[in-house]
Structure 1
């Protein structure tokens, strides 16, 4: 009898242990499943980045908000300029005719609205571009200087002002390609001698005086060594651009610091179609001037530099490939502290590859905001898709028996493109993909068409009452849809 009771107690204890073991096993299994789900969901979330599809491209919703770049088709809301940290540099890649100019005009107007001076590099050098920018500057109360061979304002430019001899030599030497290192060294040596001589005699330092001194070289062999340099300077001085550099004293003419100190804007028309390598070389000269300006501002703290830092500037390089030099990355890496923000516009990645494949990667890594419009090159779209990166997702595999899908299968982690390479060729006019590094964002934007620029670009005279009415209509339209806006800046 006692043995039977002991057996019953033993069986009961065993049952309890089995139940507890099953509960513990179930709890551990559920915990592991829950933990894996959290990890999986975290991987799939990818900081909020989601895969984009044709539905996003086919969404044609437009923004009428004048404080927005456009409409986000993935977030289903306006993308405000305040959501984009443009101070961390910007890159726009887009085929001709797909809206780079619209993006540029939106950013330029937003910078002017926020009291940021603009420097615009325009390789087309069109009168319409000058009128549009000048009108925007006038509307927002900014003076504008014009560097253009056909738009006469009387402005002259002295890019040697404030430079030491080494910088003055570099300004010229970096502005065009040297195929032969020997002749490059000879030309550089000749420039050092001439510039030192001009300054020792307290003469005017300009492209014209440098050319005159080099041309006076009596030794025929020495002159042959620097024939390429002389020919290049002749191209500048004897072209229609020459009068813009023809100063009569070292105090005459403007440099970047002068223009920034006034809180003014600068249009640089390069007309590469009409002047080819000469126009591109002048563009590189201005680019190097910006690099030296950034250096001077950060070199020491004084009242002048402190004043310059209170006047931030944005620099827009349209068709950057025309004037791109490897020193550009130095400007981009270091100019943020000098309160300079860069906007670069190119038609394709080949524009950068032509200078250096390594430079392409550097420019992408140093641009926080990348706007990509229609691209068709297989190499380019593959690079861009990889730049956007991939996201984690779940891939379901089903078992098929005798041609019939079964309920059995497996689920595994897989990675897919956020934006498939084929999507870049399907972007429409006025659309772009926004890749933002921080905070991480991948989006498709329907870019807003600026009615302000449209109203101003057609005028040929100072702003009229009708011009202001057209612009006011844009403001009022936005004002009617928002409770609070920063409208006072339009007054």
Structure 2
């Protein structure tokens, strides 16, 4: 016989033996199950009760008690009395079969021991069920994403999504019906009310989303919450969309707030250098313009910087209102001399003056010495009157022009260190750039007036100021205006730190139109003075265009991230990464190939741990109007995940219900 053929048959024989063995085992188990179905049912009931309390030690106690009962009953010869219960039930074939095997076909009497044995066997079955559930029974495999998709497929989810606008309007009316400190944004897609904690915005928010995606209504809901809490508001809009700003103005006025709206279409003035120390004001102006930092350029820049600081100190000493026009004039040496003359004062002083005067004197009547022996023989001459001139010191009052002490010190420095030739040569670029700013479309608004914008006064009175400049019309100009406003906010931060911390709500919309790293740093530091800020942009790529490092700065320093729809796949993927991931399970299934054309799913598969996006890029791209994703990093939920929701945002620009 071929040994190769014998080897082929050997595993077939082994497989047959295994199959027969399994049949025998299953048959025995079936017989045991039939004979002991009563204790099995009772054991299942006991298992269900114990399982509710989740105490595994009880199962081991049950096993010990069951074995002890059976051993004692077996020693006393009472074990088979259990089958009296089977005989008593008179089950066809089963009862008669048991009677035939155990009691030669006679009935088996039921005694107390029958029930004791029943309980003992039931306790053992309880332990067997515990072992099966713990080690052998397959647990149901579920995934978080699968559960979410299952809930989204339900009718109540779809119905709420369809009727979300009317639902939000009703909830908004209730919210406006009472004063509250709640920062109410809207509802999640699973009908969960979404609110922010009172101090959460002090750690700043980044909001992204294209036009018409719900970003504006999100900002409006936060503005309304600030109005209800009587916080002052500073709103910087780099898009210049007048319709939206007028809607925000109307919202603020509906709550009885005074609103200052600064734009190219209005006449409200704004003096950005009114407040702050001379050094702060110098930095504001120097940051607006470009100066070379190499070679002679650095020398001229240092001269311009120091000259500006001295001029600002001079204006303060003269008690004159600071404004850009006055500073621009003082870069002209002739106007500087005129300024000194204008602010000098006349004082009356006493001076010593040498004066020649004439006096009458007698000449010829000399004094006679008493020691002269011939004096008695000389006849004295007759004295003659005569005019004599002499110089005397007289005190006279005189009017002189004089500068105050502080101005005099500054004038001395300017005279000694800034000769006219240097001023005219080195300050030409500074004078030209200041002039360009003043001659622009909005230059006439950067003057001091009693009714103009003063951030310190506005925040003290809990008022609202809105700066709205079109970034598309003034692409370069808005950068200078934005810097001036943010640097004025920096002075406000110092003012509030000195006077006392106060919650101030700040919105920096279309931030990429005017932002830079220094402005980001100022916004971050304003937190200590009580500022609650939102930095808003259409896409992260817009900020990347200005400075990619600045983008990462903003993301790192904002503890709330929100986004509406983003159309770019690249931006959607980046925002998804910012939102982060959650741990989940992934279930795979094997495929059995039955025919050449058809594949069928097999019952076999695998389960593995995976990380899934909180918001998939495709979901971000498909968000609807008024729908956002929001991630609150300071709010921790179960499994150490941070708060993340899909939110339907209420439309706070609809003024209905405001009392």
What TM-score bracket applies, with the shorter chain setting the length? 0.7 to 0.9
1:235/1:278 contact within 8 Å kept: no
534, 550, 557: which one pairs with 1:359?
A: 550
TM-score scaled by length of structure 2: 0.56
SS at match of 1:276: coil
SS at match of 1:214: coil
Correspondence for 1:438:
634
How far off its partner does 1:51 sit?
8.5
Map 1:23-422; keep pairs closer than 5 Å. Answer: 59-60=161-162, 61-62=164-165, 63-64=168-169, 65-66=171-172, 67=175, 68-73=184-189, 75-80=190-195, 85-153=200-268, 156-176=269-289, 181=294, 183=297, 186-200=300-314, 202-203=317-318, 204=320, 205-216=322-333, 227-247=428-448, 254-298=453-497, 300=498, 305-306=499-500, 309-310=501-502, 312-403=503-594, 404-422=600-618
Compared with structure 1, are the counterparts of its residues 144 and 185 closer, same or farther at alpha carbon in structure 2 (3 Å cutoff)? farther
Compared with structure 1, are the counterparts of its residues 94 and 334 closer, same or farther at alpha carbon in structure 2 (3 Å cutoff)? same
2:234/2:505 contact within 8 Å kept: yes
In the comparison of the two structures, how many residue pairs are matched?
418
How far off its partner does 1:280 sit?
2.4
1:171/1:288 contact within 8 Å kept: yes
How far off its partner does 1:340 sit?
0.8
CA distance in 2, matches of 1:28, 1:333: 58
CA distance in 1, matches of 2:565, 2:299: 43
Compared with structure 1, are the counterparts of its residues 315 and 413 closer, same or farther at alpha carbon in structure 2 (3 Å cutoff)? same
Correspondence for 1:19:
none
Structure 1: tracts of 5 or more residues without a match: 1-22, 455-470, 476-489
Correspondence for 1:459:
none
RMSD over equivalenced CA pairs, Å: 3.9
SS at match of 1:294: helix
How far off its partner does 1:434 sit?
1.1
CA distance in 2, matches of 1:352, 1:228: 30
1:81/1:110 contact within 8 Å kept: no
CA distance in 2, matches of 1:188, 1:165: 16
2:291/2:301 contact within 8 Å kept: no
How far off its partner does 1:184 sit?
6.1
Compared with structure 1, are the counterparts of its residues 226 and 393 closer, same or farther at alpha carbon in structure 2 (3 Å cutoff)? same
For residues 76-100 of structure 1, what are the alpha-carbon distances to aligned partners after superposition, in whole Å with 9 as ceiling and x for unaligned?
Answer: 2342456893332112101123233
1:158/1:252 contact within 8 Å kept: no
How far off its partner does 1:271 sit?
3.0
How far off its partner does 1:177 sit?
5.2
Compared with structure 1, are the counterparts of its residues 177 and 429 closer, same or farther at alpha carbon in structure 2 (3 Å cutoff)? farther
Compared with structure 1, are the counterparts of its residues 411 and 285 closer, same or farther at alpha carbon in structure 2 (3 Å cutoff)? same
TM-score scaled by length of structure 1: 0.73
For residues 318-368 of structure 1, what are the alpha-carbon distances to aligned partners after superposition, in whole Å with 9 as ceiling and x for unaligned?
Answer: 111111021223223222231111011101112221232222122112222
2:292/2:301 contact within 8 Å kept: no
For residues 148-182 of structure 1, what are the alpha-carbon distances to aligned partners after superposition, in whole Å with 9 as ceiling and x for unaligned?
Answer: 232124xx433333422221111122235557555
1:57/1:444 contact within 8 Å kept: no
Compared with structure 1, are the counterparts of its residues 373 and 184 closer, same or farther at alpha carbon in structure 2 (3 Å cutoff)? farther
1:57/1:427 contact within 8 Å kept: no
For residues 50-85 of structure 1, what are the alpha-carbon distances to aligned partners after superposition, in whole Å with 9 as ceiling and x for unaligned?
Answer: 799987899342312224423311x32342456893
CA distance in 2, matches of 1:95, 1:406: 45
2:311/2:330 contact within 8 Å kept: no
1:52/1:418 contact within 8 Å kept: no
Compared with structure 1, are the counterparts of its residues 286 and 53 closer, same or farther at alpha carbon in structure 2 (3 Å cutoff)? farther
**Greater RCO (CA < 8 Å, at least 6 residues apart):** 1
Correspondence for 2:42:
none
SS at match of 2:480: helix
2:270/2:454 contact within 8 Å kept: yes
CA distance in 2, matches of 1:57, 1:330: 44
How far off its partner does 1:316 sit?
1.0
CA distance in 2, matches of 1:246, 1:392: 58
Structure 2: tracts of 5 or more residues without a match: 1-125, 176-183, 335-418, 595-599, 636-641
2:238/2:509 contact within 8 Å kept: yes
Correspondence for 2:61:
none
Structure 1 or 2, whichever has the larger Rg, is 2
